[in-house]
Amino acid sequence: MKPTATTATTPLRRLALHSTKTCAAPASAYGKCILATYMDVQKDTCKAEFEKFGACVREAVSKLQRPVNAGDIIP
């Protein structure tokens, strides 16, 4: 019998859930920039938006990896 993962129990599911809640605004800004410039793509066109989105995702990952209490370990 295969073990089944419940909602947000696997690390990837927790990351997806957390980052969609916390990084929606930077993701939207980056997506709008790409949409506005996709016909004339040039290097670093949306660099600022991408960096903000990347920083948000990195912050979301770091928050998921920190134990909540001293005895808690998040897999």
Asked if the structure places residue 74 within a domain, the reply is no
Lowest mean pLDDT among 1-5, 46-50, 53-57: 1-5
- Cβ contact 46:38 at 8 Å: no
Within-domain flag for 32: yes
Domain extent, residue 45, equals 11-63
Whole-number pLDDT of residue 49: 97
DSSP 8-state assignment for residue 59: H
Indicate the helix (H) or strand (E) that contains 18. helix 11-22
The count of domains in the chain is 1
pLDDT for 21 beyond 60: yes
**48 in a structural domain:** yes
Residue 10 in this model has a pLDDT that exceeds 70:
yes
Q: Which two tokens stand for residue 69?
A: 């209490």
Is a pLDDT exceeding 50 seen at residue 48?
A: yes
Q: Is residue 29 part of a domain?
A: yes
For residue 2, is it within any domain? no
Whether 26 is in a domain gets the answer: yes
